[in-house]
Amino acid sequence: MLGLCLGFKAQAQQPVSPELSQGAEWLQQNQEIQALLQKEDYESAIPLLLELISKESESTERSAFANYYYQLGLAYYNLKLYALALDAFESSLQRSLEIPPTLLFSLGMSYYYTRNLENAQEYLNRVIADPRSNSELIGLAENQLMLTLRDQSGVYQEGMKAYQEGRFSEASQYLTEALRFLPNSGELHYYLGASQIQTQNYDLARFHFQEVIRLEPGTELAQRAQLTLEVIEKLGKDQPQRPFYGSLNLGFTTDSNVNFGGPRDNNTSLPEGSNLNLSDGSLIFNLATGYQWFPELGLKYNLYTQQYLGFSSQTSQGLSSTDFSLILNSLSLSNRFALSDQLELSLNTQGDFEWLGKDPFLWDAYFRPSLTWYLTERLVTRANLALGGELYPQYSERDNLNHQIGFEQFIYLWNSQTWLRFSYDWFQVYARDQIQRREIEQGTTLFQVDFRFANSRVSHQLGLGFGFPVGPIQFEVGSRFDMIDYTQPEQVQQYVIRLNPLTGLQLPPQALTAGNIEKFRQDQRLNFYAQFDWPISRELKLQGRYTRTTNVSNITPDDYAISRSYLKDVLGLSLRYEF
């Protein structure tokens, strides 16, 4: 708009009709129009200009009205009424005795916004070639001419169409070709950067956004580029940059309550003797590898082992912390699709196999689609769905199908390393939960116990996280609150089986009243964590995490020999090497 405002001052030097200039009414009206234009009150100026122009007749000097038509065009243009502005500028051109460069520039701009690019190119070239044009006007015309040539380019049009339709690889090819003609276009660099993000080419994305900031400092486009740069710094850390990648973690943990929580949580066997806590330390080995065939398709394998040192045991019950040592094998296939420049769909299929102690413990498989919405550079929303099943070779009563629906809201604050996360998950498990039976012999008396420790449940999980940097160290603190309702009752029924003194055969079981329960379990679990990530070098990081879990259950020792409430503290420290 600067070129048109300068044009108004130059155009005001057009001759004015003697008949009009001698009228007091005209003088007052002209002064009012000039005041309104200076205040940029274009809507009020237009009726006055139209009234003044209506006085034009065959007896008046046509050139006297050239300036009024120009002012009318200027008012329409600033209101973005480009077709009306073009008509007014053309009327001014027809009446001008001497055509000033500012009028040519105004015509070129109006033709551009009415999408008559050939005429826009013609008038802009005339501005550049006119010796009366000053350097500022020539610079504006040259920049606008480059935009006109860009819009005339088929590759630019195809590139923007591909970008809007979510074909980002194709958009990058077209826009890169268009950049050859317009190397200093901040807009082209911005959309190229946005396309490269969608194809996970973060290095090129950074380059293009940095070019936007260099070429158009202080503009809204540069601010958006800067915010996007901060976000992709975090995204880039979580996405592989090479076809083959991996990491190795070696560490140590201490656990105040090995036999509660973790894999054996909700144990369905008779919990004799395990009411005492086993505290121990463990060595951690975690190898994660992956291969990225395409930006949208990748395969990952993870081997995780946790070997307890055996410092804690209940020898009278034959329990040792080493019985809880874990080996986990995990294989996952991930697909990623950019639905638009703001929506991303991820499909993850995963299978796991766990060994606990010396025995196979768990097979499971999951399908996890998620939809991520990049609302702005600072607001990211994610919806998650999980469908899965679990098989327990040693505990068939725990076999289950389950599903989960969740939402996460990320709010990035003043940079990409400072953020808040809010989450909600609804989780439901449908387990076998069949009644089990066990016989216990005490001397000459035989007892029969029918029991069920339920695993079918509905859980509502609320989460909160806060990440922030302190120097080179990235910290994160947060918590999760679970409200768990079991849909099958905890049940224990004891019987005594006596022998017939005459025949020595077993008599029918007789139910005992003491020690029996049938109660629906309800747990409330609060998990607090604090962790840090300290980069020592490009490949090496020191990581630490502390977790405290407090589980409060309505199943108490008054109901049975074991309480389902527990407190668990875990502290870990590890070195992570990325390759």
R_g (Cα) of the chain, nearest Å = 38
Q: Tell me what pLDDT residue 448 has.
A: 87
Which of 184, 233, 164, 178 lies closest to 205 in space, CA to CA? 233
DSSP-assigned states of every residue in 160-197: HHHHHTT-HHHHHHHHHHHHTT-TT-HHHHHHHHHHHH
Give one word for 476, left, alpha or beta, with left for phi > 0 and alpha for psi -120 to 50. Answer: beta
Spatial neighbors of 399 by CB under 8 A, at least 6 apart, are 389, 390, 391, 392, 431, 432
Q: Tell me what pLDDT residue 149 has.
A: 67
Which of 100, 61, 95, 92 lies closest to 76 in space, CA to CA? 92
Q: In sequence order, what E strands does 129-257 have? A: 244-255
Give one word for 218, left, alpha or beta, with left for phi > 0 and alpha for psi -120 to 50. Answer: left
Cα 169 to Cα 162: distance, rounded to the nearest angstrom: 9
Distances 60 to 57, 172, 273, 284, 432 between C-alpha atoms, Å: 5, 58, 112, 96, 99
154-238 matches 2-152 in CATH topology:
yes
Give one word for 133, left, alpha or beta, with left for phi > 0 and alpha for psi -120 to 50. Answer: beta
Q: Tell me what pLDDT residue 237 has.
A: 55
Which of 268, 279, 374, 385 lies closest to 324 in space, CA to CA? 279
Q: Tell me what pLDDT residue 418 has.
A: 87
3-state SS assignment for residue 561: coil
Cα 150 to Cα 154: distance, rounded to the nearest angstrom: 8
Spatial neighbors of 62 by CB under 8 A, at least 6 apart, are 56, 94, 95
DSSP-assigned states of every residue in 473-533: EEEEEEEEEEEEEEEEEEEEEEEEEPBPTTT-PBPPPEE--TT-EEEEEEEEEEEEEEEEE
Q: Which CATH number fits domain 154-238: 1.25.40.10, 1.10.3720.10, 1.50.10.10, 3.40.50.1820?
A: 1.25.40.10
Where in the chain are the domains? 2-152, 154-238, 251-276+354-578
**Three-state secondary structure string covering 447-486:** EEEEEECCCCEEEEEEEEEEEEEECCEEEEEEEEEEEEEE
Give one word for 471, left, alpha or beta, with left for phi > 0 and alpha for psi -120 to 50. Answer: left
- Residue 440 burial (CB count, 10 A): 12
Give the distance, in angstroms, between the CA of residue 164 and the centroid of all CA atoms in the same chain: 19
Spatial neighbors of 378 by CB under 8 A, at least 6 apart, are 227, 231, 411, 412, 413
Query: Given CA atoms 201, 288, 476, 539 in this order, what sign does their dihedral have?
Result: negative
3-state SS assignment for residue 282: strand
The angle, 0 to 180 degrees and rounded to 10, between the axes of the packed helices 66-78 and 101-113 is 40
Q: Read off φ and ψ for residue 171, nearest 5 degrees.
A: -60, -40
Spatial neighbors of 124 by CB under 8 A, at least 6 apart, are 104, 105, 108, 141, 144, 145, 148
Would you write out the chain's pLDDT as a tens digit for each of its 579 residues? Answer: 333 543 433 343 344 444 444 456 677 777 888 888 888 888 888 888 888 888 776 556 667 788 888 888 888 888 889 888 888 888 888 888 888 888 889 888 888 888 787 788 788 888 888 888 888 888 788 777 777 766 666 667 777 778 877 788 788 887 887 777 677 778 888 888 888 877 777 778 888 888 888 888 888 888 888 888 877 766 555 555 568 888 999 999 999 888 776 655 655 555 544 456 778 899 999 999 999 887 678 899 999 999 998 776 665 556 677 888 899 999 999 998 878 767 889 999 999 999 988 889 999 999 999 999 988 778 889 999 999 999 999 889 999 999 999 999 999 887 777 899 999 999 999 999 988 888 888 776 788 888 888 899 999 999 999 999 999 999 999 999 999 999 999 888 888 888 777 777 878 888 887 778 889 999 999 999 999 999 998 889 999 999 999 999 998 877 776 778 889 999 999 999 988
Cβ 280 vs Cβ 309: under 8 Å? yes
Spatial neighbors of 180 by CB under 8 A, at least 6 apart, are none
Please name the helix (run of DSSP H) or strand (run of DSSP E) that holds residue 18, with its range, or none: helix 18-21
Distances 407 to 105, 357, 381, 463 between C-alpha atoms, Å: 53, 35, 7, 10
Cα 109 to Cα 106: distance, rounded to the nearest angstrom: 5
Amino acid identity of 27?
L
Cα 169 to Cα 36: distance, rounded to the nearest angstrom: 50
Q: Tell me what pLDDT residue 16 has.
A: 47
pTM for this prediction: 0.61
Please name the helix (run of DSSP H) or strand (run of DSSP E) that holds residue 53, with its range, or none: helix 42-53
Q: Which residues pair with 486 in a beta bridge?
A: 457
- Residue 164 burial (CB count, 10 A): 12
DSSP-assigned states of every residue in 311-349: --EEGGGTEEGGGG-EEEEEEEEEEEEE-SSSEEEEEEE
Q: Which fold has domain 2-152?
A: 1.25.40
